[in-house]
Structure 1
């Protein structure tokens, strides 16, 4: 039984957005994510002690309830216990995020990335990128030393959410050099999205009208240069695509991006959105939930905890972005397409003192102290950062 009004309010929001969950599963998700936000920790001990004091319960009682929430069915007490299917939450989670974006937005940026948690886990994550931050919407966690290809995992994650984003949306999917594969490019294309995959510059390419293969390393040889064209990339496993190249000053290596956009339709700077993924991991770890200190050993239990952390992150990012919109409206939508501000290398620090994530946390604490009920509002526009040029240039 939930006794605290704020926890009740948050539970109602979570239950509404995750209607496929049973009542105990939804309340467990709400309680976990509420406790994680309030303690800024994913520690079972800290969250259970906080919730116990909030609800007037014994810490061990709360601890057992929270622990059972992420356990598999055989490990739980009782005959009719069942385990949470995390993959079934990906579509509702993505729909929840989409419902809070500005009404005029029809362009979405996703990033595929892999991160390690010490020598325990490798997390394969699909993140929606917005407001200089990001929110995981689908993921798979495997043992750090687990053998085998990641291909089946990426295929499953993409297939689970492919029909969620409206067909009229333009979706770019960015990934760094370590994840490039021709099958991944083709998979992204096959679901109606647009690959935006970075590659190394050691390979070769040729123009469709020529037979001579040229080194990718010769495209842009110094800072300040850019190039784009339709090409056939790689002599082995050739791929017909558009190649975007740019080398900005102070960057160690050039950006070489493969996409299915026509050269005149795409801007290589959109790849700068992918850096928001680094903010996601920072929010999960040092800035937020201290996930790097987890004591979980089971990948399946870790996947369920990632749902908690994803919901907590959604809450903070959306709340912080709403507050930022209210305090400083973005000027990007009013800028002409050729404006110099839309053609600068992306910088997450420029024009922002706090990330949307941290601003959300500060805003929540102030709201609670001012007796403002817990709520989430649709963004009126994207928060003001240079990396949001993608949305500003392409929103209807």
Structure 2
């Protein structure tokens, strides 16, 4: 099968960062990612159409499809299968090898594809978007807690992060839990968890109050150290952030183990970048919501395509934006970005 030269260049770009993949796996991933970028969509038929000037459309579609299959399901059965979980730490290392900051913000959030598929995703939040680096896929109607898979995702990412890097893990109310809090801390990272407004908090030197009462009106914030929760077994020494923006109906209630002087009122807003990242994966970008694939294992492999395509698209966009700010050509940016200490993947 004849492929565009860009696909071979794409494979050379991916290979150093995912070195455990076999050559057929690398070639298939490069084919998917190159076609997705050309098409502006990661839907299988759109990718095949974008690559069809270089090869037969039906052959391309079959090759793309079989890359997602288990070895035994392919037209020529084999034992080779792509284990996506082995890509999570390398994906985060790939992001960090281009990072220019000593701090990293991760966000955990679920996303749905209609009533078919649910994904719990850990993403690096970056420039009003997010790069997925670990995920767990299941049928939308599958019962069971998300907590064990989420803990496993965090554990999979841990080897990728240098010990001297400050990592903040942001979670919304639906998945905040003592087990997740402890897992994040056990990894040497810092939780930033949003809770319901009716939890109680006893500030050091003060009395216990419902957390929402630490602010009285919109456009105010309160940050302080103390003890959260009233039940003795659940009590936790932590920092409370209560932030009430004017456009919100109620204040945010956020707990973290960081000291009060290490956080700010706008800090938790970074979590909303993962929601913008989901839009980039769906209607505003790769069109994952338009795909018909429902098998969790195949969907998980397709998410590897979405992850790599998002990473490369944001890397290119970063270079263009930074070059425009400095009024230089993107190709001349490397030294300028490094001398300026730019945080850029």
Give your verdict on TM over 0.5.
yes
Following superposition, the deviation at residue 69 of structure 1 comes to: 0.6
Cα distance in 1 for residues equivalent to 2:145 and 2:336: 39
Following superposition, the deviation at residue 155 of structure 1 comes to: 0.8
Relative to structure 1, the CA distance from residue 189 to residue 27 in structure 2 (aligned partners, 3 Å threshold; closer, same or farther) is same
How many residues are matched? 337
Question: Contact between 1:257 and 1:268, CA under 8 Å: does it hold in 2?
Answer: no
Q: 1:69 is matched with which residue?
A: 67
Q: 2:303 is matched with which residue?
A: 306
Q: 1:260 is matched with which residue?
A: 257
Cα distance in 1 for residues equivalent to 2:2 and 2:14: 14
Question: Contact between 1:131 and 1:382, CA under 8 Å: does it hold in 2?
Answer: no
Cα distance in 2 for residues equivalent to 1:11 and 1:296: 25
Cα distance in 1 for residues equivalent to 2:15 and 2:56: 25
**Alignment match of 2:87 (pick from 86, 89, 105):** 89
Following superposition, the deviation at residue 329 of structure 1 comes to: 5.0
* 1:169-248 paired onto structure 2 within 5 Å: 169-207=165-203, 213-236=208-231, 237-248=234-245
Cα distance in 2 for residues equivalent to 1:254 and 1:25: 47
Question: Contact between 2:211 and 2:242, CA under 8 Å: does it hold in 1?
Answer: no
Q: 2:38 is matched with which residue?
A: 38
Q: 2:268 is matched with which residue?
A: 271
Question: Contact between 2:28 and 2:64, CA under 8 Å: does it hold in 1?
Answer: yes
1:17 aligned counterpart, secondary structure: coil
**Alignment match of 2:277 (pick from 264, 277, 280):** 280
1:16-74 C-alpha deviation (Å, 9 max, x unpaired): 221110000001001001111111122212212332322xx322222111111111122
Question: Contact between 2:212 and 2:242, CA under 8 Å: does it hold in 1?
Answer: no
Cα distance in 2 for residues equivalent to 1:110 and 1:96: 15
1:227 aligned counterpart, secondary structure: strand
2:216 aligned counterpart, secondary structure: coil
Cα distance in 1 for residues equivalent to 2:314 and 2:91: 14
Cα distance in 2 for residues equivalent to 1:378 and 1:144: 47
In structure 1, stretches of 5+ residues that fail to align are: 331-366, 384-390
1:84 aligned counterpart, secondary structure: coil
Alignment RMSD: 2.3
2:16 aligned counterpart, secondary structure: helix
Relative to structure 1, the CA distance from residue 80 to residue 191 in structure 2 (aligned partners, 3 Å threshold; closer, same or farther) is same
* 1:357-368 paired onto structure 2 within 5 Å: none
TM-score for both structures, normalised by structure 1: 0.80
Relative to structure 1, the CA distance from residue 285 to residue 79 in structure 2 (aligned partners, 3 Å threshold; closer, same or farther) is closer
Relative to structure 1, the CA distance from residue 311 to residue 170 in structure 2 (aligned partners, 3 Å threshold; closer, same or farther) is same
Following superposition, the deviation at residue 319 of structure 1 comes to: 0.6
* 1:105-144 paired onto structure 2 within 5 Å: 105-144=101-140
Q: 1:160 is matched with which residue?
A: 156
Question: Contact between 1:230 and 1:242, CA under 8 Å: does it hold in 2?
Answer: yes
1:162 aligned counterpart, secondary structure: helix
1:249 aligned counterpart, secondary structure: coil
Relative to structure 1, the CA distance from residue 6 to residue 287 in structure 2 (aligned partners, 3 Å threshold; closer, same or farther) is same
**Alignment match of 2:314 (pick from 314, 317, 340):** 317
1:280-312 C-alpha deviation (Å, 9 max, x unpaired): 111111121111111001011111100001100
Relative to structure 1, the CA distance from residue 129 to residue 63 in structure 2 (aligned partners, 3 Å threshold; closer, same or farther) is same
1:96-154 C-alpha deviation (Å, 9 max, x unpaired): 1111222xx11111101111110011110000011222100001111111111111111
